[in-house]
Amino acid sequence: MKPFAYHQPGRIPDAAKLLTSIEDSKLVAGGMTLIPTLKQRLASPPALIDLSRLENLKGITDDGATVTIGAMTPHAVVAASKLVQAKIPGLAALASMIGDPAVRIRGTIGGSVANNDPAADYPAGVLGLGATVVTSTREIAADGFFRGLFETALEPGEIITAIRFPVPFKAGYAKFKAPASRYALVGVFVAKFADGVRVAVTGAGSGVFRVPPMEEALSQNFDPSAIAAIRIDTDGLTSDIHAEADYRAHLVTVMAKRAVDAALS
Amino acid sequence: MGNVIGIGASPKRKEDQRFLTGRGNYVSDIKRPGMTAGVFVRSPHGHAILRGIDKGAALASPGVIAVLTGEDVAADKLGSLPCGWGISDAKGVPMKEPPFPMLAQGKVRFVGDMVAFVVAETPEQANAAAELMTVNYEVLPSVVGVLEAVRPGAPQLFDDVPNNICCDWELGDKAAVETAFRKAVHVAKLSLVNNRLIGNPMEPRAAIAEYEPGTDRFTLWTTSQFPHVVRFLMGALVLNIPQHKLRVVAPDVGGGFGVKQFHYGEEAVITWAAKRVMRPIKWVASRSEGYVSDRHGRDHVTEAELALDETGKFLAFRVNTLANMGGYLSTFGPNIPTNLYGPLLGGVYTTPAIYCNVKVVFTNTVPVDAYRGAGRPEATFVLERIVDVAAAEMGIDRVEIRRRNMIPKEAYPYQTPVLVQYDSGDPMGCLDGALVAADVKNFGIRKADSARRGKFRGLGYSTYVEACGLAPSRFAGRLGARGGLYESATVRVHPTGQVTVMIGTHNHGQGHETTFAQIVSEKLGVSFENVDIVFGDTDRVQFGMGTYGSRSLVVGGAALSKATDKVVAKGKKIAAHLLEAAEVDIQFEAGKFSVAGTDRMKTFEEIAGAAYVPHDYPLEVLEPGLEEQAYYDPVNFTYPGGCHIAEVEVDPETGTVTLVDYTAVDDVGTVINPMIVEGQLHGGIVQGVGQALYENAVYDEGSGQLLSGSLMDYCMPRADHMPMMKIATHSTLCTHTPMGVKGCGEVGTIGSPAAVINAVVDALSHLGVTHVDMPATPNRIWRLLQNASLPVAAE
């Protein structure tokens, strides 16, 4: 690890100011991706801006129609939240499947969403539920937030403060874990709302994406059988030493069916 | 007399007290006054010509003390890293043995090959300087697979090694095998890959070297399984340091599995550099560095054929293997796929004719050497797989075909056609025991239950034997070993009767401090707590070949047993004098020397006291003191074996294989500590399951990049991959080791891959699947099912 300056601001505007004034500085939330990167000397930001002292970034609230999770809320808290379990059990289940216990205790929802790892779990939940990413400056709809491999709509100096999830009728997540990393080789989140069904896939490509044919089919009939015959195209899907694109495409269908099963159970 | 805990007891492990309370003493825990930090600059290319190295920027970097390269090694006329075994081809032509410089000279031959060593005041400064090194590489195409490496036109690693073939080795009677094949009613054929593995001990490799000008002595602390061998190989053959001027210490070591039983270039470089900078130097590998520098294991491509008569009796077995050596010959490299592979192809069967050809091949990969099992898992996998293939093709039950060919218990000692002679064994007994323990008779019920849940269930057998306790020097010498394979132990009885044992094996997780203390406690009748085992320090331990090949108890324990016998013999002489009796009338039992037929006796402590306070002592015939040493070189290998049965469930939708049950009934000879044996079996089996289902070192052909270069991409088996295992022993006693022990460190790893893959194939056999290569990953299984003869319903 190379030397860096360390800042621990108490207010969001202070954090945003540091972020814009120190070129190449990085925000650190749980640090579950950033710290290993620093240890391997693959990144050497001049300064880290630790978000852990910022007020009002932790915790979960609801207003009946939505559940809002503070950006610095760890995965383990979301997984164990009675509120999330009651309102969006599929999201609590997703949080319980991230990484391992150490990662779930340190890692945060804001960090995961901002990082937008192509195999992370939360992007599937955020996109699948059509959530709103609340930042220090504005609100961004999930459909416009994720821009592919580690890219998001966040502007320089913009900090995620919370994610606001609409409460669905039903939702479920099914994840096929990569054997070694236990990231999603393929993860599928499905959510049923009054105006239709959303299906979001992580792990299969360079970033989280929706599957309109499955959404249409499930909107007609929210049952695994409705999508059993739908195969997604392998174009744009990842091939690596763990899985070729056609296997990932197959797993999308299998995991989508299992996500529907989970939502129905 | 006190708390004797002897052979057959399962005390908690003595060493765990310090390990579990964070008081272990590992190399990276050690700090020396004035210690500096060393970092290796490694090749990022699989194959390249070194056109020049510019040290300038690194040398000018803050805190840098020295930067050393291959040119400095050459200028100091240092030796090449030696290979401890020399093999020859059928005509007796020795293997090609190109030099293995400790820092690359002229060329780099694998990603991770060392090109420079940077010494600085701190690790951070050394790392920063290493990044400033400018190495001018002329990149060449790499070749990483054995099939590709022997093709005409393949990139050549060494100018004088045509087609990258180090040695074209063979074993067995080729003509007899050909004759038998002509008579065969059925010939089973199988092509398979034995996947390349990375050992991943929990503690990465590390070393500290220090030179004391006052005494002209070097000390090397290193994560080694065999410090005396490192002292010899490095001191005598690489650095020209006299043995009495070199101390090698291997303190607590966090797992080895073979990875730490080689002499590594890092050890030589750091020791050499310590004198040049006149400061102690510490190097600790990162996990990532370990992936591209720890010696890898396995990596075979094999074609096998089994000839059978109409009843399913094996007539002959023919095996052709290409074995990957990586970029250079490691310490035991060429021995593993030859001498530790071919002689095991007889298995537990009466196959009368066997021929094995192994082409040992250089590639642009990390050197390949012994990894837990070392050659024997590969042999077992070939044999146990083809037995299943033959059974399926001939319509004979898999258990029945094994029974028809098994060596009966009464046929031991049994001479195989491939050099080795098994002294003892009862494979049928192990099989029978395992069939009951695994509840094979109700497998059909379980399979039907799986089918109702949309899953395919399979059962797999592996009835295997291995050769361990390496050892016998005379035999090994004939096979090309350039060293001996005995072991030594010194039993030092203190004046108060406590005992310190100095032994040449090395404990890095095997529980020796407990097992060996039990042997001493039993044999001398002293308290278990009053025995300490010292190992891993060439200044404290007389000599030793270290720990590998399941040899510690078999060879080291035997030396210890002999040394305790000598202590008792001397004690009897002292007792005879003190008790005024004839020596032949002195009996020793339960820690007491007594005159037969009387109540006159002396305790072990009294005899020890007399030995060191010889006021009344037979000085004219006996020296004072009570310390004895023994060296032991056995007459044969030992041959543990057994029957493993794996039960798996396959999810046809995703291709996921789940190991749902595992049974092992093994013949490991006398068991000293059943708990430790069970633990060794657990660990060994999990490592074998790792090979069968999860682990795979993957290189990119052409660039030579290791694609599975971290724990994110190289899948180690984990606790949640494993069911509760059923472990039992069905032991026959080794006829030639002092306590009848056979060794148990590797049996789990040797027996299990074939059992697991045979179970996977069984689960899929109704779809026409006849073989699955390792690891049986979901992706691989799914693809097999796509190509299988029956469509798979999607739930």
Please indicate whether, in this complex, the C-beta atoms of A254 and B712 are within 8 angstroms of each other.
no
Find the residue in B nearest to A228 (Cα): B794
Q: Taking residues B243-248, what's their average pLDDT? A: 98
CATH code assigned to A61-264: 3.30.465.10
Q: How far B44 CA lies from chain A's nearest CA (Å)?
A: 15
| Chain B environment of A228 (Cβ under 8 Å) | 794-795
Please indicate whether, in this complex, the C-beta atoms of B713 and A224 are within 8 angstroms of each other.
no
In B, residues 681-710, which contact A (CB 8 Å cutoff)? 694, 696, 698, 707-708
Say whether pLDDT at B793 is over 80: no
Q: How many angstroms separate the CA atoms of B104 and B265, rounded?
A: 10
DSSP state of B312: -
**CA neighbours within 13 Å on the CB side: how many for A214?**
31
pLDDT one-digit tens code per residue, B65-91: 999 999 999 999 999 999 999 999 999
| Chain B environment of A102 (Cβ under 8 Å) | none
Please indicate whether, in this complex, the C-beta atoms of B124 and A180 are within 8 angstroms of each other.
no
Provide long-range contacts, Cβ within 8 A and 24+ apart, for B599-606: B602/B575, B602/B578, B603/B1, B603/B497, B604/B1, B604/B497, B604/B524, B604/B525, B604/B526, B604/B571, B605/B496, B605/B497, B606/B578
Please indicate whether, in this complex, the C-beta atoms of B783 and A253 are within 8 angstroms of each other.
no
Q: How far B90 CA lies from chain A's nearest CA (Å)?
A: 39
Say whether pLDDT at B794 is over 60: no
Q: How many angstroms separate the CA atoms of A197 and B538, rounded?
A: 71
Query: What is the three-class DSSP state of B390?
Result: helix
Closest Cβ–Cβ partner in B288, B698, B715 for A179: B715
Q: Taking residues B184-191, what's their average pLDDT? A: 98
Q: How many angstroms separate the CA atoms of B366 and A139, rounded?
A: 51
The ipTM estimated for the assembled molecules is 0.95
Can you give the pLDDT at residue B789?
59
Helices (H), ranges, B367-511: 376-394, 398-405, 427-437, 443-452, 473-478
Can you give the pLDDT at residue A2?
84
Q: How many angstroms separate the CA atoms of B219 and B285, rounded?
A: 19
Find the residue in A nearest to B653 (Cα): A254
Say whether pLDDT at B790 is over 80: no
Q: How many angstroms separate the CA atoms of A34 and A26, rounded?
A: 9
Q: How far B779 CA lies from chain A's nearest CA (Å)?
A: 6
Residue written as token pair 């803050």? B62
Please indicate whether, in this complex, the C-beta atoms of A257 and B795 are within 8 angstroms of each other.
yes
Q: How far B33 CA lies from chain A's nearest CA (Å)?
A: 24
Can you give the pLDDT at residue B787?
85
CATH code assigned to A5-50: 3.30.43.10
Look at the domain B486-632 and name its fold: Aldehyde Oxidoreductase; domain 4 (3.30.365)
pLDDT one-digit tens code per residue, B409-466: 999 999 999 999 999 999 999 999 999 999 999 999 999 999 999 999 999 999 999 9
Residues of chain A with pLDDT under 70: none
* Fold match, A5-50 / A61-264: no
Closest Cβ–Cβ partner in A2, A40, A241 for B707: A241
Q: How far B714 CA lies from chain A's nearest CA (Å)?
A: 6
* Fold match, B296-470+636-787 / B486-632: yes
Written in H, E and C, the secondary structure of B722-747 is CCCEEEEECCCCCCCCCCCECCCCCH
Q: How many angstroms separate the CA atoms of B639 and B422, rounded?
A: 6
Domain ranges for chain A, please list them.
Answer: 5-50, 61-264
Closest Cβ–Cβ partner in B128, B716, B779 for A242: B779
| Chain A environment of B127 (Cβ under 8 Å) | 41
> Is residue B2 very low, low, confident or very high in pLDDT (cuts 50, 70, 90)?
confident
DSSP for B24-51 reads: --BGGG---TT-EEEEEEE-SSSSEEEE
| CA distance to A160, A180, B774, B784, B790, per residue, from B787 (Å) | 47, 26, 18, 5, 8
Find the residue in B nearest to A176 (Cα): B654
CATH code assigned to B296-470+636-787: 3.30.365.10
Biggest CA-to-CA distance, chain A = 56
Q: How many angstroms separate the CA atoms of A256 and A251, rounded?
A: 8
Domain B31-138+205-284, what architecture?
Alpha-Beta Complex (3.90)
| Chain A environment of B707 (Cβ under 8 Å) | 241
Please indicate whether, in this complex, the C-beta atoms of B715 and A180 are within 8 angstroms of each other.
yes
Q: How far is CA B499 from the centre of its chain?
A: 30
Q: How far A12 CA lies from chain B's nearest CA (Å)?
A: 33
Please indicate whether, in this complex, the C-beta atoms of B711 and A180 are within 8 angstroms of each other.
yes
Please indicate whether, in this complex, the C-beta atoms of A243 and B779 are within 8 angstroms of each other.
yes
Please indicate whether, in this complex, the C-beta atoms of A250 and B782 are within 8 angstroms of each other.
yes
Say whether pLDDT at B395 is over 50: yes
Q: Is B765 an 8 Å CB contact of chain A?
A: no
Other beta carbons within 10 Å of B404: 18
Closest Cβ–Cβ partner in B654, B694, B698 for A176: B654
Q: Is the dihedral of CA B596, B598, B604, B608 positive or negative?
A: negative
Biggest CA-to-CA distance, chain B = 90
Please indicate whether, in this complex, the C-beta atoms of A254 and B794 are within 8 angstroms of each other.
yes
Find the residue in A nearest to B657 (Cα): A179
In B, residues 706-745, which contact A (CB 8 Å cutoff)? 707-708, 711-716
Please indicate whether, in this complex, the C-beta atoms of A179 and B778 are within 8 angstroms of each other.
yes
Q: Is B124 an 8 Å CB contact of chain A?
A: yes
Please indicate whether, in this complex, the C-beta atoms of B653 and A254 are within 8 angstroms of each other.
yes
Q: Is B618 an 8 Å CB contact of chain A?
A: no
Residue B542: name the closest of B523, B526, B521, B563 by CA: B563
Can you give the pLDDT at residue B469?
85
| Chain A environment of B795 (Cβ under 8 Å) | 224, 228, 257
pLDDT one-digit tens code per residue, B98-123: 999 999 999 999 999 999 999 999 99
pLDDT one-digit tens code per residue, B130-142: 999 999 999 999 9
Domain ranges for chain B, please list them.
Answer: 31-138+205-284, 296-470+636-787, 486-632
Q: Taking residues B208-217, what's their average pLDDT? A: 98
